[in-house]
Amino acid sequence: MAQAQFEATVAGFFEEFIRRHPVEATSFGIHAYDEKLPEASRAAIKGTADLTRGFRERVSAVDPNTLTPSGRVDREVALTVADLALFDLEERRMAERASEAAETLGSALYLLVARDFAPLPDRMRAVAARLEAAPRFLTESRALVTRPVRLWNQIALEAAAELPRLLRTIVQTAREKLADRSLLARVGRAADGAEQALRGYSAWLRDDVIPKGSSDVQLGPGPFERLLKLRRLGLSADQVLALGERSLAELTERRVALAAKIRPGAGVDEVLREVKSRHPETFAEALESYREAVREARAFVVERDVASVPRDETLLVEETPAYLRHIIPFAAYVPPGKYDARQVGIYLVTPDDGSPGGLCEHSFGSIANTSVHEGYPGHHLQLLWANRHPSVIRLLANGTEFIEGWGLYVEELMSEVGFRTSLENQLIMVNDLLWRAVRIVLDVKLATGMIGVDEAVNALVEVTGMERGAATAEVKRYSLTPGQPLSYLLGKHLLLELREEARRRLGPKFTMRGFHDALLRSGSLPVAFMREALETELYAPPVY
């Protein structure tokens, strides 16, 4: 009875949450709200905060001893979900500091055209409805920005400048594939209206918001410590920073040793330039190399029993849409919706900018390593399994240190078990690990105000050899999402601790596939709850 009541409380909260957040509903594969955009008002933000606070109070009142083992995990996850949401809504208050309207509109449209979850005419009707709502949404959102931060609104302006490309792609697709002329005309009119609204929105950002914006991108030492505590990471900012600096030193030594093996007597930078110079001749060829690496990695995962791969899944490798390139300098992953019948993930790869050496970031070593991280057994495999877990609160949990930690963990794992193990590939893998160690350091220092954005860009270029344009895009994102960049290496560190514990407890019964499947079957939990989840998934698995 108590378990059923708890699940009903969670379900009620989830239903109201997705009603208020139609773009998230689409991303989950719930299509009842595909024609809507969210309400962008202070009243809407307050309503979400009130909803979340009431949910937390009801969950807190549930006696965990009356729940099943899985229910006890979900109760703690629900409390964490609520606490983090309230932190964002009431303490960080990002809506007052940066406009996210253009990016929200872009996601709302992209999800409808990129995922083939329904016949194109049905999806285009939803696209037209969202485009028709865009002028209201873009105008309404302006009243939210009362304490603008210059850099973050420059990012918003970049998103608005790129979004018309997506609109033109939508119109072109409609012209080529729609037989319904009235729907085609509707899409065209709605796209014109949305583009005109975007021009007004961009002018508002450029002329009114950015000139009066502050340069303060820090979260602050106190709030950052609270964020780490709310995420239940078990480490202070100083301890996280120490882990990053220690890892940075260790990985620097590993990189020097590998470079010396590749070219004795040459410096690390020289060897890296040489390794990165081995890349496809064109971006089109690079994209095909990514697809081949994905196919090869998937086969390797299955053949070597690294982890189980669900049936009926697909991973598409596509060029990053123009409107997202300013925040995705290299690659990203768009997971399938939990409730979509077809489980199709999209691996986005960002083209080079056409400058000399631009394709260096798509070297053959980078292609292999990134495809493991984003594809198999990385985010695609991870989030396919997460979609199969019945808990809806785990869908909202978004355990960043597990999600990003897993992606980094499998990069080194695949090298260890024999996937593309040349010295050059190992050098790229270690260099990418080093990049994630720098992320920890920069994340903590940026968020707490120890360094500024320019210093962070210089450090990223100096330590990793990254092109300055890509490093600038990276650091911009770090400043927007404090606590997220540190999740990669910290998450990997926490997963390795769980693996060693599993080895000790299971002894000769331990297998990599068994351990990995148990993690993945638990959903995208924060690592703090993964140990308890493993008690039923690994140490005492249910009998079916």
Task: Report pLDDT digits (tens) over 506-517.
Answer: 999 999 999 999
Q: CA 213, CA 478: separation in Å to the nearest integer?
A: 19
User: Which residue has 């955009």 as its token pair?
Assistant: 37
More confident of the two residues 443 and 468: 443
Count CA atoms within 13 Å of residue 264 on its CB side.
Answer: 0
pLDDT at 544 over 70: no
3-state class (DSSP) for residue 119: coil
Q: What is the pLDDT of residues 203-255, one digit of tens each?
A: 999 999 999 999 999 999 999 999 999 999 999 999 999 999 999 999 999 99
Res 541: pLDDT? 55
Question: 56: which 2 tokens?
Answer: 């937390």
* Full-model pTM: 0.92
Q: What is the pLDDT of residues 173-208, one digit of tens each?
A: 999 999 999 999 999 999 999 999 999 999 999 999
Residue 190, exposed/middle/buried by CB under 10 A (0-12, 13-18, 19+)?
A: buried
Res 469: pLDDT? 83
Q: Give, in order, the Cα–Cα distances in Å from 27 to each of 30, 110, 378, 387, 437.
A: 7, 10, 19, 12, 30
Q: What is the pLDDT of residues 47-65, one digit of tens each?
A: 999 999 999 999 999 999 9
Q: Give, in order, the Cα–Cα distances in Å from 425 to each of 62, 112, 251, 317.
A: 51, 37, 15, 21
pLDDT band at residue 139 under the 50/70/90 scheme: very high
Q: How many CB atoms lie within 10 A of CB 60?
A: 11
3-state class (DSSP) for residue 235: coil
Contact 393, 365 (CB under 8 A): no
Within its chain, how far is the Cα of 381 from the centroid?
A: 14
Averaged confidence pLDDT in the chain: 94
In what helix (H) or strand (E) does residue 455 lie, and over which residues does it extend? helix 453-464
Q: CA 499, CA 409: separation in Å to the nearest integer?
A: 11
Q: Which of 532, 396, 383 is nearest to 81 (CA)?
A: 396
pLDDT at 498 over 70: yes
Question: 285: which 2 tokens?
Answer: 């060829």
pLDDT at 540 over 80: no
Q: Give, in order, the Cα–Cα distances in Å from 519 to each of 260, 308, 507, 512, 528.
A: 37, 11, 18, 11, 12
Res 33: pLDDT? 98
7-26: average pLDDT: 97
Question: 537: which 2 tokens?
Answer: 């998934």
Res 371: pLDDT? 97
Give the rounded percent of residues in the chain with a pLDDT score beyond 70: 99
Contact 120, 184 (CB under 8 A): no
State how beta strands 331-334 and 343-349 pair. Answer: antiparallel
Question: 30: which 2 tokens?
Answer: 């719930």
Q: Give, in order, the Cα–Cα distances in Å from 89 to each of 53, 156, 466.
A: 11, 19, 34
Q: What is the pLDDT of residues 523-539, one digit of tens each?
A: 989 999 999 999 988 98
pLDDT at 322 over 90: no
Contact 109, 170 (CB under 8 A): yes
Length of the chain: 544
446-450: average pLDDT: 97
Q: What is the pLDDT of residues 79-90, one digit of tens each?
A: 999 999 999 999
Q: What is the pLDDT of residues 293-307, one digit of tens each?
A: 999 999 999 999 999
Res 473: pLDDT? 86
DSSP 352: P
Q: Which of 76, 431, 136, 465 is nearest to 256 (CA)?
A: 431
**Which residues 6+ apart lie within 8 Å of 133 measured at CB?**
36, 37
Question: 9: which 2 tokens?
Answer: 């409380």
DSSP 542: P
Q: Which of 279, 296, 482, 280 is nearest to 371 (CA)?
A: 296
In what helix (H) or strand (E) does residue 344 lie, and over which residues does it extend? strand 343-349
DSSP assignment string, 464-479: H---HHHHHHHHHHHH
Res 422: pLDDT? 95
Q: How many CB atoms lie within 10 A of CB 246?
A: 12
Contact 380, 518 (CB under 8 A): no
Res 543: pLDDT? 46
Contact 443, 228 (CB under 8 A): no
Res 466: pLDDT? 82
